[in-house]
Amino acid sequence: MIMPRGQQLLLPANPLFVLLTLIAALFANMVVNISLVGNASWMPDFLALVLAFWCVHQPRLVGIGVAFFFGVATDVHQASLLGQHAMSYTALGFMGIMVHRRLLWFTVPSQAMQVLPLFAVAHALELTMRMMSGALFPGWMIFLPPLLEALLWPVVSVLLLAPQRRAPSPDVNRPL
């Protein structure tokens, strides 16, 4: 694949690093749910953000099966309807893999605007599942997390791609 002009060539992603970031995002969600904020409807879903990032950047490594596994783990932790987050994360993973080739041609702020609908669909699917099981509408603040996750996309891009960056000064022995 031809790289867009001016974009830096990245090293391959370490599978252990990818797994550790997904587990760290799961723990971040757990800490947020246990903290004073509780299971607030306006809090962004850090696991969905990291999962979507890796589905876009490493679709062969992180796919729908990984999304399903972490969704079930989230369902078990939150004692929610079993399969609610699993279905949401699986759909998010599918949509991330579906747009990954096109999305990587854009700048990071443009990517953030383009992943906003993916996060919105995933949260809408989760809300639909929750309301079909008999829960009440959590309020209009439920529409804030997809926006916050899209705003966090550039930060996550910088942090998670940092280990893959090559040395910026090429020399005779290292042309790339």
Helix residue spans in the chain (DSSP H) = 15-34, 46-57, 64-78, 84-103, 108-132, 145-161
How many Å apart are CA 100 and CA 94, to the nearest integer?
A: 10
pLDDT digits (tens, 9 = 90+) for 99-143: 999 998 898 999 999 999 999 999 999 999 988 988 888 888 888
**Tokens at 48, concatenated:** 């969905």
Task: Kindly indicate the confidence band of residue 147, based on its pLDDT and cuts at 50, 70 and 90.
Answer: very high
Q: What is the pTM (predicted TM-score) of this model?
A: 0.86
Across all residues in the chain, what is the average pLDDT? 87
Least confident of 54-68, 85-99, 132-146: 132-146
Residue-wise pLDDT for 15-47, tens only, equals: 999 999 999 999 998 888 887 666 677 888 999
- Computed from CA positions of residues 29, 31, 33, 35, in that sequence, does the dihedral angle turn out positive or negative? negative
Confidence (pLDDT) at 56: 94
Domain residue spans of the chain = 15-135+143-163
CB-CB neighbours of 63 under 10 Å: 17
**Phi, then psi, of 45 in degrees rounded to 5:** -95, 100
Question: Mean of the pLDDT values across residues 83-88?
Answer: 91
Class (C level, CATH) for 15-135+143-163: mainly alpha
